[in-house]
Amino acid sequence: MPKHGKNFNKAANELDRSKLYSIEDGIKNVLQAKFAKFDETFDIAMKLGVDPRHADQMIRSSVVLPYGNGKVTRVLVFAKGAKEIEARDAGADYVGSDELVEKIQGGWLEFDKTVATPDMMGTVGKIGRILGPRNLMPNAKLGTVTFDVANIVKEIKSGKVDFRVDKAGIIHAGVGKVSFGEEKLLKNVVAFIEKIVLLKPSTSKGHYIRSITLSSTMGPGFKIDPLDLKNQVK
């Protein structure tokens, strides 16, 4: 079992972590229990009734949160010609083609997300071994391989969150900052859960959403009552 510091233990002991909370009360408890001096990320972890070993149950997608995720994201776009201009106008931090590939091959990785037009994927494939392990490879399932570069760049800049289920059937994501406050965090959390619900595989058996836990980066987690989802999720 991991050892926690005195601040964590104090925060955890002041609130009842054994019960199931509504989403609103869970958010309130997370904010009440926070103790870090920096603006922590507000996290959600969802245990799903899926088996990621089966391709049709490997959940991977993205969602644009109503109030973003609170992070400044540096976007790199692989594009040429008119699409290069479109990406720059949309706010991309870096745009180019072969020269960017060479720069990355030289060890440069000062970016957080990548986008590529479909005609550039042959070129981007040269650095797949560099980008892939870092989850930086453009991916059609996440919408980052597209000719609609303007919209995807704007979505990423406004707080688009990528997620995927891990081997244990758990999805974990940051859905805001504790400084957002209860109302904005509630809308972000609900938007995230709604997206997960929409992605339920037809082959998933039994309860799809097994558990939900909300927490801040350094703080304790609080479990959400799955029955409360009916009152919040469309």
CA atoms within 13 A on the CB side of 57: 17
Are 176 and 42 in contact, with CB atoms under 8 Å apart? yes
Question: Over pLDDT 70: what percentage of the chain?
Answer: 91
Among residues 88, 75, 78, the alpha carbon closest in space to that of 157 is found at 75
Q: How many other β-carbons are positioned within 10 Å of the β-carbon of residue 132?
A: 11
Which alpha helices (H) appear in 58-215, and where do they start and end?
82-90, 98-105, 121-124, 128-131, 149-158, 182-198
Confidence of residue 200 (pLDDT cuts 50, 70, 90): very high
Q: Which are the contacts of 187, defined by CB distance < 8 A and separation ≥ 6?
A: 66, 67
* Interval 113-142 mean pLDDT: 95
* 35-85 confidence digits (pLDDT tens): 889 999 999 999 999 999 999 999 999 999 999 999 889 999 999 999 999
CA distance 22 to 9: 23
Which domains, from first to last, does the chain contain? 19-69+160-232 (3.30.190.20), 75-157 (3.40.50.790)
How high is the pLDDT of residue 14? 57
Burial of residue 48 (CB within 10 Å: 0-12, 13-18, 19+) is buried
* 160-197 confidence digits (pLDDT tens): 899 999 999 999 999 999 999 999 999 999 999 999 99
- 158 DSSP assignment: H
CA distance 89 to 81: 13
* Interval 138-147 mean pLDDT: 93
Confidence of residue 1 (pLDDT cuts 50, 70, 90): very low
* Interval 100-127 mean pLDDT: 97
